[in-house]
Structure 1
Amino acid sequence: MLTLPTRIIHVLRHFETVLSERVWEWAKVLVIGAILAPGERTVAAILRVMGCANEKHYQNYHRVLNRATWSSRELSRRLLLLLIQLFFPGNEPVIMGIDETIERRRGRKIAARGVYRDPVRSSKEFFVKTNGLRWISMMLLTPIPWAQRVWALPFLTVLAPSERYHQQRKLQHKTITDWAWQMILQVTRWMPARRLVVVADGTYAVLSFLLKVSRLPRVSAIARLRLDACLYEPPAVRGAGKRGRHALKGQAQPKLAARLNDPTTSWKKHMVSWYGGTKREMEIATGTALWYQSPIPPVTIRWVLIRDPNGQYEPMALLCTDQQAEAVQIVEWFVLRWTVEVTFHEVRAHLGVETQRQWSDLAIVRTTPALLGLFSLVTLFAHQLLGGQPFPIRQAAWYTKALPTFSDTLAFVRQHLWPSTFFSVSSYEGDTVQIPRVFFDHLVETLAFAA
């Protein structure tokens, strides 16, 4: 039976009623083992690191993922509400990022596997394809007090199979924006009273998607906008007694690409929060328009043009479905989207995403979202263990580190789990070996920072 720190137990108690009492005991071993295990996050590797290599009923731990009855959606809801309670206690807008990632997997038994563009290996000159699973993840973009920066904390991840997968099963295909719309709708039902800002890249700048989002109360979307988008003025006021159908749009506005070189464009310089936690002076032009392309009804947006006076960054355009939003705020919210890419990198480097080996459809659907959610759970554990105290950053004579990263956070949590999990059980005197405290601390530190 696991013996865990009290503050970690308090976090886990928010989730234990989603599973039955028996399955919960097995699930806790998988969760703690996934944090402690270096390298692959297979069930076998987790059982070994937890000292359960001789467990005769090892199949019970596999069945937590491939057979047991529990709702991953309910776990997502509880994780989100707990994150909101700790990091967004007020009434300020809740900022969320949404993006997709490819989990590189091979194997004929993986039914949802498809062929996609590899975003990591591809570039403007080369197009690289990869076999794998496509996941769409929604993350809470929140400042972490002890890290002094914004992190993207995953809480809801869904599998988005390819069009061929649905055609073979005679199912209606769902695009990326279809999945994103359902995820946003689900989150609004979980938090009906909070204002929600969803930040995405250009993949989600789709009129049908933005139209549905704009009709939701207290929800707005920010995405990258094409410089050649067809923007229009609102339609003129219809005269009394005039027959015919109402106009959908007014006069065409200049293309944003033309506005970049137009001397009449009104540019204003602003100091904005930029990538890497820096401040940078940028030139911003903004306005409102109708984005229209038949047969989709027009969507009212605020467009924002961004230009670097030093020429280091290429000009880009953003859109926001909230016309009342400030241009500088839109830019700073969009910049936070980069933390989503950082999280995708961290879960691959430190939490073993792409190393799991399940073939069961149910286990596949559950495992990757669980590993992404483990990023948020580790952050919660560290937040509770610190209790408002400064983060103890690992230092060396040749390297001074100012702020903790996720690898430091994971090691900090491991340092509390190793002693309590493996050295707190009483043993017979003949089975124990006394070691100096310095050596014990060095051993725990080495295990905690293992890759």
Structure 2
Amino acid sequence: MPGLPSRFAGLILAFAPLFVHRSWCHARILLVGAILAPGRRTVASLLRIMGRANERRFVNFHRVLNRAAWSPRAGARILLGHLVAAFAPCGPVVLGLDDTIERRWGKRIGARGIYRDPVRSSDSHFVKTSGLRWLSLMLLAPIPWAGRVWALPFLTALVPSERACREQGRRHKPLLAVGRQLVLQTRRWLPGRDLVLVADSGFAALAFLDALSCGGVSVITRLRLDAALYDPAPPRRPGTIGRPRTKGARRPTLAQVLMAEETDWHRRTVPGWYGVGGRVLEVASATAVWRHAGLPVVPIRWVLVRDPDDRFAPQALLCTDLTRDPEQILTWFVRRWSVEVTFQETRAHLGVETQRQWSDKAIARTTPCLLALFSIVTLLAARLPARERRKKALAAWYPKAQPTFSDALAGVRRALWRERALATSRRRRHRTKPRFALPPPWAYALCNAA
């Protein structure tokens, strides 16, 4: 592939079967331009950074997003295969599921709604915002050269507002229904792997947990301290008339277990506790049945956590796999914080919320592509030499222990710019240009800009 390092060409060419040849030529330019461009990720800015500012048929590049026939879901399957092979080749595949609000205004954006702004709001201050609601499924995997877990998006779906569905005469699909479909789709893509889903308390719903448990997916999420827990249903005696029982005796709530003196607490060291390294916690755990009238009955393992130094309030977790160790449940759950980091990084470095499409199809494609670009850049960075992969943007006032995503993006950009600067002329009698080293200020402006 001209203008690309050979180590990058194999990964980028993996997405070529999604397009016909003419559309792929345009999509490839947009993909590389989205990596190189700073600031806004509009089609115009991508064409400028790729040297196509004088392209008279620029409308063909817009048509890749708003008209061309290609499947983002098929692209998500290809991306997931590369992510699993690179960062989770064996053992359980840990996934993270969460939603985010993309702030957008405009009467022509049909799926727009009014939502609570999770960034600007607090417990005592409520802020509303206009935008699009996205639900993203990510692979939570440790990145060897970064020394921590990254959340790598691969499948993102738009969740239209109720008002938009009502105006279009369509049935509104709740957030939990969309999340269930995304996870079960991934289950079909990875039939032989053990899947573990980590989510926040918004996904602690009995119908959601039951559907994924029946699909062979273990779910870890928060649990209310006043949840109604029961013993398993006793064995049915022969000759008993009526419907079989679904629960046994009522158990104390977790709030009561927390205050009880007879609770058996065990000290466990949980690694990677929200970026502060290992932390010693007191843990109590048991199995129970979570039930509510009219909803499915879900067997769970609950884990009650408290800090001996009272640095945070006690909290409870649940896992639908009763055989999991409480320490392993906690280790997987703390990976969820990397999902919020990914949302912030994509806004800061990949231009999420800067695109300006208003076509329904372009809107449904652009944001998932920008989120997936986070994973593509990570895969490209994994193909860099170890010395370039571990480079960090250091300064006298900014020490950094491990490389971050901005460093990975800078390394990929540096490789792309180097290849474009040393491109060989098409004429055979012309020699390759001599090697040119970018001065440090130029390299910072080209590679480290957001």
* TM bucket, shorter chain: over 0.9
Whether 1:141 and 2:140 are equivalent positions in the alignment is yes
Match of residue 430 from structure 2 = none
Say whether 1:305 aligns with 2:307.
no
Q: Where do 4+ consecutive residues of structure 1 move more than 4 Å? A: 387-390, 434-442
SS of the residue aligned with 2:218? strand
Name the residue aligned to 1:343. Answer: 342
Change (3 A) 1:317 1:164: same
Alignment coverage as a number of residue pairs: 444
Cα distance, 1:156 vs. partner?
A: 0.2
Tell me how large the CA RMSD over aligned residues is: 1.9
How do 1:60-75 residues align onto structure 2 when only pairs under 5 Å count?
60-75=60-75
* 2: CA distance, partners of 1:15 / 1:436: 31
Query: Which stretch of the first structure deviates more once superposed, 15-24 or 231-240?
Result: 231-240
Residues 415, 233 of structure 1: alpha-carbon distance in 2 compared, 3 angstrom cutoff: same
Post-superposition offset of 1:270: 0.5
Counterpart of 2:355 in structure 1 is: 356
Residues 125-174 of structure 1 deviation map (CA, whole Å, 9 limit, x = unaligned): 01111100000000000111111111000000000111222222232221
Matches of 1:56 and 1:100 in 2, distance apart?
A: 39
Distance in 1, matches of 2:185 and 2:251, equals: 36
- Report the TM-score, using the length of structure 2 for normalisation: 0.95
Q: Give the counterpart letter for 1:62 in structure 2.
A: H
Equivalent AA in structure 2 for residue 178 of structure 1: A
Q: Deviations over 1:98-149 (max 9, x none)?
A: 0000000000000000011111011110111110000000000011111111
Post-superposition CA distance 1:1-46 (Å, at most 9, x none) = 8411001101112111111111111111111111111110000111
Alignment match, 2:219: 221
Residues 144-159 of structure 1 mapped to structure 2, 5 A cutoff: 144-159=143-158
CA distance in 1, matches of 2:270, 2:405: 25
Name the amino acid aligned to 2:364.
V
Q: Aligned to 1:379, what secondary structure does the other structure show?
A: helix
Q: Cα–Cα, structure 1 residues 347 and 35, in superposed 2: closer, same or farther, change >3 Å? A: same
Secondary structure, aligned partner of 2:296: strand
For 2:235, the equivalent position in structure 1 comes to: 237
After the TM superposition, which of the residue ranges 60-69 and 15-24 deviates more from structure 2?
15-24
Aligned residue type for 1:374: L
Alignment partner, residue 22 of structure 1: 22
Report the counterpart of residue 34 of structure 2 in structure 1: 34
Partner residue of 2:118?
Answer: 119
* Residues 149, 277 of structure 1: alpha-carbon distance in 2 compared, 3 angstrom cutoff: farther
Residue 384 of structure 2: SS of its match in structure 1?
Answer: helix
The CA distance in 2 between the partners of 1:41 and 1:230, in whole Å, is: 48
Equivalent positions of 1:153-232 (< 5 A) are: 153-217=152-216, 219-232=217-230
Q: Counterpart of 2:286? A: 287
Give, as a single letter, the amino acid of the residue that structure 2 aligns with 1:134.
R
| Amino acid corresponding to residue 244 of structure 1 in structure 2 | G
Q: What SS does structure 2 have at the residue aligned with 1:276?
A: coil
- CA distance, structure 2, for counterparts of residue 171 and residue 439 of structure 1: 55
Query: CA 1:251 to 1:145, structure 2 compared with 1: closer, same or farther past 3 Å?
Result: same
One-letter identity of the residue aligned with 2:350: L
1:446 CA displacement:
2.6
Cα distance between partner residues in 1 of 2:204 and 2:113 = 23
Q: Is the 8 A contact 2:422 2:434 kept in 1?
A: no
The one-letter amino acid paired with 2:106 is: G
Deviation at 1:262, TM superposition (A): 1.0
CA distance in 2, matches of 1:357, 1:61: 14
In 1, Cα distance between equivalents of 2:151 and 2:16? 24
Task: Give the match for residue 379 of structure 1.
Answer: 378
Structure 1-normalised TM-score? 0.95
Bigger CA drift: 225-234 or 133-142? 225-234
Q: 2:11 aligns to what SS in structure 1?
A: helix
Distance in 1 separating the partners of 2:77 and 2:434? 45
Residue identity opposite 1:186 in structure 2: Q
Identical amino acids, percent of aligned pairs: 52
- Unaligned runs of 5+ residues in structure 1 are 429-433
The letter of the residue matching 2:260 is D
Residues 380-414 of structure 1: CA deviation (Å, up to 9, x unaligned): 11101236976122333444322100011111111
Instruction: Give, in whole Å, the separation in 2 of the partners of 1:190 and 1:436.
Output: 44
Contact 2:422–2:435 under 8 Å retained in 1:
no
Tell me which residue corresponds to 1:431.
Answer: none
Whole-Å Cα distance in 2 between the matches of residues 398 and 120 of structure 1? Answer: 27
- Unaligned runs of 5+ residues in structure 2 are 428-432
1:83 and 2:80 matched: no
Q: Which amino acid aligns with 2:15?
A: F
Whether contact under 8 Å (2:227, 2:253) holds in the other structure is yes
Which whole-Å deviations, capped at 9, do the CAs of 1:260-289 have from their partners, x for residues lacking one? 111111111111121105100001111111
> Does the CA-based 8 Å contact 1:418-1:444 persist in structure 2?
no
User: Is the contact between residue 230 and residue 250 of structure 2 (CA under 8 Å) also seen in structure 1?
Assistant: yes
Deviation readout 1:66-87 (Å, 9 max, x if unpaired): 0001010010000000111111
Give the C-alpha shift of residue 227 in structure 1: 0.9
Matched to 2:315, the amino acid is: M
